Amino acid sequence: MREIQFREALNEAMSEEMRRDENVFLMGEEVAEYNGAYKVSQGMLDEFGAKRVIDTPITELGFAGIGVGAAMNGLRPIIEFMTFNFSLVAIDQVINSAAKMLYMSGGQVPVPMVFRGPTGNAGQLSAQHSQNFENWYANTPGLKVVVPSNPYDAKGLLKSSIRDDDPVIFMESELMYGDKGEVPEDEYLLPLGVADIKREGDDVTIVSFGKMMKIALEAADELSKDNISAEVIDLRTVRPIDYKTVVESVKKTNRLVVVEEAWPLASISSEIAFHIQHYAFDYLDAPVKRVTNEDIPLAYAPTLIEATLPNVKRTIDAVNAVLYR
């Protein structure tokens, strides 16, 4: 099977859906003339033209609102935020318009659209450009929230997101756009709300999503050298969460570690920990451990970044703790 970059997988997903459905269009800062801030939309302006690949001013609230209105009138916009840190400027349109319109219209006005762009740490970008808001959006009824970890998942999940009749928050990572992975040339879709067991194991379950899957899988590799068999689950979507897959894994391994690149309070890992300790308590041989960002804004200095973010060592330490090692 061919290998392509994460950014190429996203490009293929959008291009294929735009060829399939003339109602799909892309709008955002630098998506057209510049081919995307991260070259995700490379070549799309040449193929689809300026009416369907639309450059905007630096006005997130404005073009998010245009997207919501377009979706309410039968189009399927893809709204790109240069970073989800900037989505805070547009959050009123996302939360109070896109997420609520179907409910407030009594089911008469769907809002089929995708808000997509990078999330989380991307190197030395400091505190205002290094945040994770997956849990913010996942807290909102009416939204679906997708966080892929590899090119294969990214393409299949984005195609499903574009076809979905609900607004979808699709969160990527600047540090993953160059990652390569196997992606079929034939069309495929991946369902939203279904987790994937990336590695099977018997001793402990490690749950993660997005680029933290790299940490989880590397930790599992290191643990295997000590004959510790870790089952690694990629949530893929954090609203809806596939609780069943996690519960069934914990019933087998009896231990759970959750790795998440976000602050600890009211996080996705908090929700997973509560759910497992409530619905699979009798199967747990140790309390659930979480590995998260430290509860501080991310610094600029690389040494402080390293000390703040989840890493392989902290993940292994958490696994050893639940194994009472």
Question: Parallel, antiparallel, or unpaired for β 168-172 and 53-55?
Answer: unpaired
Average pLDDT score over residue span 171-175: 96
pLDDT score of 325? 74
pLDDT band at 241 (very low <50, low <70, confident <90, very high): very high
Domain of 251: which CATH number?
3.40.50.920
Question: Within this chain, do residues 102 and 15 fall inside the same structural domain, yes or no?
Answer: yes
pLDDT score of 143? 98
pLDDT band at 196 (very low <50, low <70, confident <90, very high): very high
Average pLDDT score over residue span 75-84: 97
Residues of the domain holding 149: 3-182
| Residue 117 within a domain | yes
Burial of 275 (C-beta count, 10 Å sphere; 0-12/13-18/19+):
middle
Domain of 58: which CATH number?
3.40.50.970
Residue that wins the pLDDT comparison between 236 and 126: 236
Question: Within this chain, do residues 32 and 168 fall inside the same structural domain, yes or no?
Answer: yes
Question: Within this chain, do residues 313 and 276 fall inside the same structural domain, yes or no?
Answer: yes
| Residue 191 within a domain | no
Last residue of some domain: 153, 182, 211?
182
Q: What is the pLDDT of residues 131-160, one digit of tens each?
A: 999 999 999 999 999 999 999 999 999 999
Last residue of some domain: 182, 204, 232?
182
Q: How many CA atoms lie within 13 A of 294 on its CB side?
A: 13
Question: Within this chain, do residues 204 and 233 fall inside the same structural domain, yes or no?
Answer: yes
| Residue 70 within a domain | yes
| Residue 279 within a domain | yes
CA quadruple 320, 321, 322, 323: dihedral sign: positive
Q: Which residues of 2-19 are buried (b: 16+ CB within 10 A; e: fewer)?
A: eebbbbbbbbbbbbbbbe
Average pLDDT score over residue span 68-80: 98
Percent of the chain residues topping a pLDDT of 70: 100
Query: Which residues are catalytic, by number?
Result: 60, 129
| Residue 159 within a domain | yes
| Residue 107 within a domain | yes
Average pLDDT score over residue span 22-38: 97
Do 1 and 53 contact (CB within 8 A), yes or no?
no
Please say if the pLDDT value at position 65 is more than 80.
Answer: yes
Type and span of the H or E element at 114: strand 114-118
| Residue 298 within a domain | yes
Count of structural domains, the chain: 2
pLDDT band at 1 (very low <50, low <70, confident <90, very high): confident
Instruction: For the chain, give the mean pLDDT.
Output: 97
pLDDT score of 12? 98
